Structure 1
Amino acid sequence: MPITLPETLPAFDILQTEGVMVMGENRAARQDIRPLRIGLLNLMPKKIQTETQFARLIGATPLQIDLHLIRISNHEAKNTAAAHMEAFYRPWEEERDTKFDGLIITGAPIEHLPFEEVTYWDELTRIFDWTQTHVHSTFGVCWGGMAMINHFHGVKKHMLEEKAFGCFRHQNLAPASPYLRGFSDDLLMPVSRWTEMRQDEIEAVPDLVPLIASDEVGPALVEDPAHRALYMFNHLEYDSGTLKEEYDRDVAENAAIEVPVNYFPDDDPENMPTNRWRSHAHLLYGNWINEIYQSTPFDPNAIGTGHW
């Protein structure tokens, strides 16, 4: 089954050329099934790149997905054309009465700031609380996951002396988890952050279930059953060239940056990077969508009520 996208959204043509099943909104409306309604609260500067990455993954499942692009209500995007934001994004305040089967909350390049100093922190915490009554399952990614786990459990983020940057080996800590169905015992995962969560602090919270972690860069994926949430601190959704773009940008700006670890063949930036995480990215998001499908109420109005 396809993912439903506006035909004028840049991701529509990109994904169609890749073989991802996409469907225009008019055609989807004629189908007599209930698609899963998935929201993407996109906090990243490069909106088009990020929305395409996530649409690619959730659009690869056998289910029809109705994707809603959401933005912070009173925050102006500086790196994406206003016309794109106006055409495809709705502020959260206009979506707050909508029930969602799933919601993805992306990262944001503000990890150096204490959470409370983020300009839209008050609205974001209201969104976190809103998910408990209006979203069946929430997926917080990178800074978004760090912010959620801090809000609900008080787990702190810690600044790193050096940026964790590259592709790092991770261990599968919970092979029986439905979210890790089909996963290898270990996997390579892209990482790009100046902060970390700490495994011992997560394990100290009885309600949290560690799923994936690395000896080098710490916890990567945590389940929070009580809040119907997953927290991912790394970037399985990244394209093959995303870390290269970050590296090239910093080099061009004369910023202090090391060559991303275990990313370029022979660690030579002149070589094109090889994608070694794509299959696990599709597995993870496919498993998440499947778990939503298996457990979400048929009547969307029942989402968040506990009665179905």
Structure 2
Amino acid sequence: MPIKIPNNLPAAQVLDRENVFYMNADRAYGQDIRPLKLCILNLMPVKSVAETQFLRLLGNSPLQVEVDFVYTESYVPQHTSQEYLTEFYGTFAEVRNKKYDGFLMTGAPVEQMPFEEVAYWDELCEIMEWSKTHAFSSFYICWGAQAGLYYHYGIPKYPVEPKIFGVFKHHLCVEHEKLFRGFDDEFYVPHSRHTEFRREDIEKVPELTVMAEAEKPAGVYCVADLKENQFFISGHAEYDPMTLKGEYDRDKKAGMDIQVPCNYYPDNDPSKRPVVRWRSVANLLFANWLNYYVYQETPYELDRIHRDSD
């Protein structure tokens, strides 16, 4: 079954070219089926790029998925027009009375700032608290994972030097966990960040489990509160083949001291085309989350979703 997206969303053109099966809103209304309902809080500056990356993976499933995109009202994005947001996005105020099968929060380019100094932090805290009682499962990515771990469990983040940048080899820390069903013993995931959370802090919180990690510098990759169906992912399995190249070229052009992304270019040579090592990981990760932690467990009547809030 396809993912349902808004009529005329620009990501549809990319999905068409890649033969990703989707359904626009008009066609979906004719389907007599209860789709999975996801809320995606997109904190990335160029909304359309992140939309395409996540929709590509969420659409690779036999399940029909309906997405509401949300942005923060307390901060006006600098790289996405208000017209675009008005057509394709809603505010938290517009969705706060809805319930969802799943909630996904992206990363954001604010990781070097203290959490409390982020312009939309108060609104973000309200949304994360809301997600505990209005979404059956939550999936936090990169800075979103750091923010979620800090808000929900008090886990701090730490600056790292140099930047964690490249495609790193990971291994599982748990056995027979459904999120990683079908994964190889070793798998690769892109990372691009200036900060990290650490295993020693996570291990102090009984509710949390380290699910997967890499050797330094990438470190802990996936943390979960399995009782509450909350997942915190430090890397970017959703990245396109050329995303790290774009970041590298941008920073070089700006005169920044940026290293060549690790395990990305053949022979570490930026003149060569990057090798994609994480495509299957990305598809499995999102398909497993949707299937095992959302579709298989969420109640048919969304009004029955309820979790005790602290």
Provide the C-alpha distance between the structure 1 equivalents of 2:205 and 2:185, rounded to a whole number of angstroms: 24
The CA distance in 1 between the partners of 2:17 and 2:221, in whole Å, is 31
SS in 2 for 1:130: helix
Q: Residue 230 of structure 1 aligns with which residue?
A: 231
Task: Report if aligned partners of 1:72, 1:91 keep a CA contact under 8 Å in 2.
Answer: yes
The CA distance in 1 between the partners of 2:28 and 2:124, in whole Å, is: 31
Structure 1 CA distance for aligned equivalents of residues 8 and 275 of structure 2: 31
Alignment deviations for residues 207-254 of structure 1 (CA, whole Å, 9 cap, x no partner): 111111011121011111243210001100000000000000001111
Q: Structure 2 CA distance, aligned partners of 1:278 and 1:303?
A: 33
DSSP-derived class of the 1:295 partner: coil
Q: Which residue in the other structure is 1:92 paired with?
A: 92
Q: Which amino acid aligns with 2:156?
A: K
Q: What secondary structure is seen at the aligned counterpart in 2 of 1:260? A: coil
Whole-angstrom CA distance in 2 between matches of 1:9 and 1:215: 39
2:300 pairs, out of 295, 298, 301, with 298
Indicate the residue corresponding to 1:248 in structure 2: 249
Equivalent residues in 2 for 1:120-139, closer than 5 Å: 120-139=120-139
Question: Paired residue for 2:35?
Answer: 35
* Structure 2 residue identity aligned to 1:110: V
The residue that corresponds to 1:260 in the other structure is: 261
Write out aligned runs for 1:91-170 (5 A): 91-170=91-170
* C-alpha separation in 1, matches of 2:213 and 2:70: 30
Q: Distance in 2 between matches of 1:265 and 1:115?
A: 37
Displacement of 1:161: 1.9
SS of alignment partner, residue 90 of structure 1: strand
Give the Cα separation in 2 of the matches to 1:154 and 1:7: 40
Greater displacement, 1-10 / 222-231: 222-231
Runs of 4+ off more than 2 Å:
225-228
Is the partner of 2:104 in helix, strand or coil? strand
Paired residues of 2:7 and 2:26 also in contact (CA < 8 A): no
Letter of the 1:174 partner, please give it.
V
Shift of 1:196: 0.7
Partner Cα distance (2:164, 2:48) in 1: 25
Q: After TM superposition, give the deviation of residue 79 of structure 1 in Å.
A: 0.8
Question: Identity percentage over the alignment?
Answer: 43
Unaligned runs of 5+ in 1: none
SS where residue 182 of structure 1 aligns? coil
Show the 5 A alignment for 1:203-214.
203-214=203-214
Alpha-carbon separation, structure 2, partners of 1:74 and 1:152: 21
1:175 deviates by 3.2
User: What residue in structure 1 maps to residue 280 of structure 2?
Assistant: 279
For structure 2, list consecutive stretches of 5 or more residues without a partner in the other structure.
Answer: none
Measured in 2, the distance between the counterparts of 1:288 and 1:106 equals 15
Deviation at 1:11, TM superposition (A): 0.9
Q: CA RMSD in A?
A: 1.1
| Equivalent AA in structure 1 for residue 305 of structure 2 | I
The normalised TM-score by structure 1 is 0.97
Task: Compute the displacement of 1:106 (Å).
Answer: 0.4
Task: Please give the secondary structure, in 1, of the residue aligned with 2:296.
Answer: helix
In structure 2, the residue matched to 1:12 is 12
SS in 2 for 1:227: coil
Structure 1 residue 31: Cα displacement: 0.7
1:23 corresponds to 2:19 = no
Letter in 2 for 1:234: G
How far is 1:142 from its partner? 0.3
1-structure distance, mates of 2:162, 2:296: 42
Q: Distance in 1 between matches of 2:120 and 2:237?
A: 26
Distance 2:307 2:277 in 1: 40
In 2, Cα distance between equivalents of 1:281 and 1:4: 20
TM superposition shift of 1:261: 0.7
Q: Do the aligned partners of 1:171 and 1:186 also contact (CA within 8 Å) in 2?
A: yes
Structure 1 distance, partners of 2:48, 2:235, is: 19
* Local SS of the residue matching 1:167: strand
User: Counterparts of 1:144 and 1:226 in 2: how far apart (Å)?
Assistant: 20
When the two structures are aligned, how many residues end up with a matched partner?
A: 306
Q: Is the 8 A contact 1:39 1:100 kept in 2?
A: yes
Give 1:305 shift: 5.1
